[in-house]
Structure 1
């Protein structure tokens, strides 16, 4: 069956190598030597034109991919922890702010890349990443990506979760190669150098901030502005904790994260807008290149979350296939996007967002048709409602085991909320993009912004209402990794049963 999906066959051993490296780590150099040796053997077997060696070649390719995944992950995940020496009062750590800061109520959160440790006597080069919380003041709020700061060596290991069913934030940070954190008062740090060259990430952050200011200047305020910023531009740091919990309890948290839905809408809009290019010579290629650029600029503006990168990569491959007049198989396209992202950062495989994003899209493609075909109606509106219901159920089936494992809770009214929230979210995205596009024309933009403001207000009220319904959220569900695997095995066996009609799968399930 996998013969029809060659890229899926290549992805599987690579992913296995990554997972083995994470759970059974070793010195990266030894698997790299093994990979190099076997790679040479693979090339030799390819050059020897012997039909009997084709199976040997296939086995070598798969082992190479497994070792490549292992080696790449081992090199990437080397544990780099800064050593503090608090006995030396003259010592301080020099670091660069690697991402745009996050402004919180009483502090400023910043991700740092450590450059070294400086003392009066010498300079010690050091590597690693850390997360710091700075006392909120007029200086810390002005920090930007690529600024260089110096601070007292007060880093401490990130603590483990305090409760059994609590999300493991330490584990989450570890997969981002962050193992230490610190809280710094104003007197504990100083800025050494302001960023002179605006990096592409800093540019994206500034552009997003300017777009949010445009929405605010057009009259969208408070919670409506924060939801609009999250839904349209992927900036959700300002959303009130209580409102965020309401979205989570209602099963609508996914609309606050820019995802494949948003990227798909951007693709559809600009694909239509650029159709006129087909009338000129090489217009198809110009359209394709422009589409890919637009998709990745939007992905960059919205923060390059795993779901956005997955969607942007997938659509890039689809556009590339159209440009070269090739048919793109969904599973090959999905595998190609995953392989591309994991080559850049193999630790993405452990990101909750990465896992949920791929499982959701697989669930929608594989499970949704099975559910949708259970009921037929000739009424257009009823059919669309049922289609959306089938999508929600399919995505939930594909992702709920993982959600239970990581968060130990389940939104009981997810169907009700998604039937209302998803159409509203799509409308808000279209309307928000239109408001930003027409912002140079204040009269029209202000009118549309008022409509947008009312729609978001209605969305928030609906979400809060669903959250306040009795038994809206089941919490503290004990769900282990073994439970997770068993549920997914059962889901796969049931899908095989339905598709292949072989009842041996039912008895196994």
Structure 2
């Protein structure tokens, strides 16, 4: 796999895009001037390059590239500021009346129900309303329109939040503020506004009810709902803590891992359409359609969207006889996501998703060369092992930086849990299909239903056992780890340059790895001294 910049054109576009977003975030005053100056300069250079005489075009070929760089740099700043303005809210000292629409499945609090609401009037903003629990409040559904009186307030940091910046986190998510709504301060208008998001959430509720028809125990239902639909409301605190300490909490949120497994299942289902000709094009188009249907059912969260965009670009590339997953398709996915939502660059899940996929592209092909199993079952297990190991190498520095904890056994637990998650999802697919035909009362369907029920139950229980054992092991988690941005960058560089040296044995790579390791030691020593 070539990693040259010449073969990754979207990487060239991604550089000015991310640079503009970073400038806007850290140097907002500078961006007020630079967005217009760089945009105008970029357009002039692009126009000038188009009118250069033929004999001078090669000499001045850099003009178009430089102009495009500056133009995208400017465009990203304009898009960032537009999104920032959309999230800003004019907070009033007094209560005001608002018209809003419920956009998501609610989250239950001790005395309230938390609803995500899009304010329609006086201006479109996203807020979180904590509505006092009542019979009427429980009846609200995604898409319902309500009128309410409230004093919407900006988000504040929690007393025990530590270094976590909650207002910044909510700003990145696109929310403007929150408010408490007493039982008497709101009512339904009787109207229901249609949107793709609200329709998705309603379908998600039906999917959750469908899972209940399997009659699983409470923990299994909560785990499967989180695993496939990203619904965490029924997860107990002890379960979440166990997954967090064992380093497997990522499986409880639908992400690229889950969507990737769904993609493999869909690809297998349509494998009868072959690998060439018009039927192959139909196969890729059907994969895209079914994949986005899953995104719709799973609630259309940002993490699912990211994975679906990556896989859609992958399928599109295959339609045009291009290679599937490459660094260029990854850069293309990041480019389209950031041009639409620049705030995503600072979203932890965005960084971890792309860090994991980049590490898989970098490490897995090299790990697969080391050992080539002849048995299909062993090959499948080894591939899951290399994917899991590669992804963990990619997200490990980010886990240390953002969460300040190190799950000691997370490499080991993930090597077991990730394949089990894949097997659970694989077993759920035929179980869902069989349940659709359960009303026919055919003994074979009932028998297969029982078999797959047992398989899913066994895999879920095995996953729980591994997680709970890892949680109870001595030194299961190291806490209070603080690394700086510089140390994060050095650690990422050290992991990838060390991996590159291990597979190529080039002396320059070894020298770069040792130099980076020495710099890391110096920065950690300096941090200890100033403390």
Common topology (TM > 0.5): yes
Does structure 1 residue 244 correspond to structure 2 residue 250?
no
Task: Pick the aligned partner of 2:396 from 382, 400, 404.
Answer: 400
- After the TM superposition, which residues 461-480 of structure 1 pair with which residues of structure 2 at under 5 Å, given as runs? 461-480=465-484
* Structure 2 stretches lacking a partner, 5+ long: 439-445, 517-531
The answer (yes or no) to whether the contact 1:250–1:467 under 8 Å persists in 2 is yes
Q: Which structure 1 residue ranges, 5 or more long, are not aligned?
A: 117-124
Cα distance in structure 2, aligned partners of 1:397 and 1:285: 35
Equivalent of residue 266 in structure 2, options 270, 284, 288: 270
CA distance in 2, matches of 1:496, 1:99: 44
Root-mean-square deviation (CA, aligned residues, Å) is: 2.9
Question: Cα distance 1:13–1:251, how it changes in 2: closer, same or farther (>3 A)?
Answer: same
Tell me if the contact between 2:200 and 2:300 (Cα under 8 Å) persists in the aligned partners. no
For residues 248 and 275 of structure 2, the distance between their equivalents in structure 1, rounded to whole angstroms, comes to 42
Once the two structures are superposed, what CA deviation does each residue of 1:264-294 show, in whole Å capped at 9, x if it has no partner? 2322332233344459984333322221111
Match of 1:149 in 2: 146
Q: Deviations over 1:405-447 (max 9, x none)?
A: 2111111111221122112111110111221111123324354
Report the counterpart of residue 343 of structure 1 in structure 2.
339
Equivalent residue for 1:73, pick from 75, 80, 88: 80
Query: 1:379–1:445: structure 2 CA closer, same or farther, 3 Å change rule?
Result: closer
2:21 alignment partner in structure 1: 18
Q: Aligned-pair distance for 1:40?
A: 4.9
- Residues 113 and 129 of structure 1 are in contact (CA less than 8 Å); yes or no, is this contact kept in structure 2? yes
Aligned residue in 2 for 1:432: 428
* Cα distance in structure 2, aligned partners of 1:178 and 1:490: 36
CA distance in 2, matches of 1:358, 1:298: 21
State the match for 1:111 in structure 2: 116
Query: Hey, what's the Cα distance between the residues in 2 that align with 1:413 and 1:384?
Result: 23
Confirm or deny: 8 A CA contact 1:21 1:73 kept in the other structure.
yes
**Preserved contact between residue 97 and residue 146 of structure 1 (Cα < 8 Å):** yes
Contact 1:410/1:473 (<8 A) preserved: yes
Is structure 2 residue 373 aligned with structure 1 residue 365?
A: no
**Correspondent of 1:54 among 44, 49, 61:** 61
Aligned equivalent of 2:286, options 286, 290, 293: 290
In structure 2, relative to structure 1, the CA distance for the partners of 1:375 and 1:284 (3 Å cut) is: closer
State how far apart, in whole Å, the 1-side matches of 2:147 and 2:235 are: 31
Give the superposition deviation at 1:492. Answer: 4.1
Pairing of 1:81-120 with structure 2 (within 5 A): 81-86=89-94, 91-104=96-109, 106-116=111-121
Cα offset for 1:209? 1.9
In 2, are the aligned partners of 1:165 and 1:478 still within 8 Å (CA)? no
Q: Which residue of 1 aligns with 2:528?
A: none
* Alpha-carbon separation, structure 2, partners of 1:372 and 1:440: 39
Which string of whole-angstrom CA distances, capped at 9 and with x for unpartnered residues, describes residues 311-353 of structure 1? Answer: 2112212211222223346100101111111122111111111
Which stretch has the larger CA shift, 400-409 or 246-255?
400-409
- 2:10 & 2:189 partners in 1: Cα distance? 48
CA distance in 1, matches of 2:11, 2:176: 33
2:9 pairs with 6, 9, 18, which one?
Answer: 6
Q: In the alignment, is the contact (CA less than 8 A) between 1:215 and 1:449 conserved in 2?
A: no
- Structure 2 counterparts to residues 382-397 of structure 1, below 5 A: 388-397=384-393
- 1:192 maps to which residue? 189
How far apart are residue 248 of structure 1 and its match?
0.9
- Aligned residue pairs total 497
TM-score normalised by structure 1 residue count: 0.88
> Pairwise mapping of residues 429-468 of structure 1 onto structure 2 (< 5 A)?
429-442=425-438, 443=446, 444-468=448-472
Distance of aligned partners of 1:30 and 1:490 in 2 relative to their CA distance in 1, 3 Å threshold:
closer
How far has the Cα of 1:376 moved from its partner? 8.5
- CA 1:114 to 1:459, structure 2 compared with 1: closer, same or farther past 3 Å? same
Offset at residue 163 of structure 1 (A): 4.0
Find the partner of 1:320 among 307, 316, 319. Answer: 316
Shift in Å, 1:73: 0.8
Shift of 1:136: 2.3
**So what's the TM-score if we normalise by structure 2?**
0.85
Between the aligned partners of 2:175 and 2:491, the Cα distance in structure 1 is 31
What residue is the counterpart of 2:519 in the other structure? none
Give how far 1:61 is off: 1.2
Verify the 8 A CA contact 2:44 2:67 in the aligned structure 1.
no
Q: 2-side partners of 1:37 and 1:387: how far apart? A: 49
Provide closer, same or farther for how the CA distance between residues 371 and 276 of structure 1 changes in structure 2, counting only shifts above 3 A: closer
Closer, same or farther: CA 375–23 of 1 in aligned 2, 3 Å:
same
Counterpart of 1:157 in 2: which secondary structure?
A: coil
- Distance, in Å, in 1 between the alignment partners of 2:385 and 2:410 is 10
The residue number in structure 2 matching 1:501 is 507
Which segment drifts farther, 224-233 or 362-371? 362-371
Structure 1 window deviating more from structure 2 (45-54 vs 488-497): it is: 488-497
Higher relative contact order (CA closer than 8 Å, sequence separation 6+)? 1
